[in-house]
Structure 1
């Protein structure tokens, strides 16, 4: 065997080893990221436009599975409450236990404990509320409103209930982190800065980005590894044919 043949064989073995390693690491990242996301997140289909433009009817979302005591103001949550039909519903938390939520001030804005609240997430053209109201949220409860205020049945509809329209924290089953369908509309659900300076601040981003990154990197490694392995095999076959041809010639 010539020196060139030995060098080519060593390169081929190295190429196959690196290809196998890339595919193995890619599989670990892909399956790990996918499994991580599957454990932490639950998909839901949005039934109405009551939370538009944040999420719209027909869109598919991912909600991080959390306990109710992890919820903070500004979160978009999925909850189930018997008084609201006992079906998964999506609304935004604007008040927590002890807050007084009212509408509206002289400029038509929602107020929280007497302070006007900036709401950039409202659907364009909507008012904070067409009907004036004021509600103090009991401890352990959440006051929920839709972002499409003109077309949302929310805590305002239930003001005559014993809890002033609010729901218990333990009715929350998830916090919405992203819209994942349709593909052209995929986006993360941002935490509104208007709640950041209030006691407790806003929720930290969920682990969806790291999980998605692991899946993406794993996919790339699998594809690159598979392609590298295929290229190495083709080169070795061509080299073998060339060598055999030269011997017989």
Structure 2
């Protein structure tokens, strides 16, 4: 017990453990400190990138010419994954979707060595690479649930709910369709077509499958909204609302 007025000296700190002392000296090294900070920054960026890729946006590359001239082979596109679960799809939107069954056939399995696989995973995590792009398809939404889509009228135009449309996004010289069809889009599904109609295996050519050529909403990954690479092709992707503005509700 200390008497009143008696000075009490500072309490002694408990001696640090040898491990704590070594860590403190190690941490004071400027290069080690910089490396640790860099690892924290990269780790944080990687986690954020993974979260964004999982819930918000994702990158894909274009493996074929079915969407020429809008999308060139090897273009990189960014996809909004909030569509269609939170944000609804519109006619004219360009969508990326998983194979509804039988559209792509069996894709060959590519074996990568461990180092290449790790690099591919890391680039994919940051949205730079898209190793599974060949397992997805990209087309333009033409028909929404309930729409009556017909090809073609006496003028050779596609009609939606009886309204003919003029499609400025078609590849030069391409007709709306060389194949006639008359479909009503089921609830929860979409009718999709490529802009390069003569070279697009789209909804028109899969009516013999269980999906009948329609793409269910559960297969849609999201809506493509920008070409991000190569930079010379950078552009925001248009859904041409004026093309569909006069289409009546089904």
TM-score scaled by length of structure 1:
0.62
Change (3 A) 1:171 1:199: farther
Q: Note the C-alpha offset of 1:197.
A: 4.3
Residues in 2 aligned to 1:144 and 1:168: alpha-carbon distance in whole angstroms: 11
- The aligned counterpart of 1:84 is 103
Q: Note the C-alpha offset of 1:105.
A: 1.0
CA contact (8 A) 2:64 2:73 kept: yes
5 Å-filtered alignment, 1:120-199, equals 120-193=168-241, 194-198=243-247
- The aligned counterpart of 2:146 is 98
Q: Is 1:64 aligned to 2:80, yes or no? A: yes
CA contact (8 A) 2:163 2:247 kept: no
Residues in 2 aligned to 1:131 and 1:197: alpha-carbon distance in whole angstroms: 24
In the alignment, structure 2 segments of 5+ residues that lack a partner are 1-44, 106-134
How many aligned residue pairs are there?
169
SS at match of 2:102: helix
C-alpha offsets along residues 150-202 of structure 1, whole Å, 9 cap, x if unaligned? 100000001233443111111000100111111111101012121234468xx
- The aligned counterpart of 2:63 is 47
Residues in 2 aligned to 1:175 and 1:67: alpha-carbon distance in whole angstroms: 6
CA contact (8 A) 1:97 1:138 kept: yes
Change (3 A) 1:163 1:127: same
In the alignment, structure 1 segments of 5+ residues that lack a partner are 1-30, 201-249
Change (3 A) 1:139 1:59: same
Give the root-mean-square deviation of aligned CA atoms: 2.3
CA contact (8 A) 2:191 2:215 kept: yes
Larger helix proportion, structure 1 or 2?
Answer: 1
Q: Is 1:75 aligned to 2:124, yes or no? A: no
Change (3 A) 1:197 1:108: closer
Residues in 2 aligned to 1:85 and 1:66: alpha-carbon distance in whole angstroms: 25
User: Structure with the greater relative contact order (CA < 8 A, sep ≥ 6): 1 or 2?
Assistant: 1
CA contact (8 A) 1:122 1:148 kept: yes
